[in-house]
Structure 1
Amino acid sequence: MSPEHGPRRSQVVLVEPALSQLAKLTAAETHRLDRVIVAFSVSPELGTPVPDTLLRDYVDDVDGVRVIYYVTALRPVAIVAYVEA
């Protein structure tokens, strides 16, 4: 019998300007961002929909991280457009 697997994660892709913002983060900020990316890769609906767009805005007040992203139509890929830590 095969072991039970957890939920399938979305592939997460960062685009400009998110890559530029990522390059400016400290190691600690990048670590906090990683935890947030894992969270919404498992549950893409976590973010709040941005009205009149396909974007979602996810804010983690505990880690002090904000990510704006959208999920592709088939849900296997989340595109990160903005990061703030």
Structure 2
Amino acid sequence: MERAEVAQWMLTALRRDKCLYQDDVVDYLIKNNDESHLTENTDGNQVLGRPLLNEFLNLTRNDVVWVRSGFYWRYRVAEDEPGRNARG
């Protein structure tokens, strides 16, 4: 799958579910035999690669935040501070 296609799938899933877990995207890519968008982090876990993350960021820059504690994206709310990361 092309990077843009995966990022669009991510956006569709986010719109449908109102949040998107990184693990769900990793699972989707593995199930579709497309690990080219994944990389291994320092803990040995598969995570999304920077090029895919950047593609998704370009689609969602102003209205989506990353919740680091839960490893998921959600739509921005009024209480969120400026930037891409949310508290929680």
TM-score (norm. length: structure 1):
0.32
- The structure number with the bigger radius of gyration is 1
Q: Which has the higher helix share?
A: 2
Higher relative contact order (CA closer than 8 Å, sequence separation 6+): 1
Q: Which has the higher strand share?
A: 1
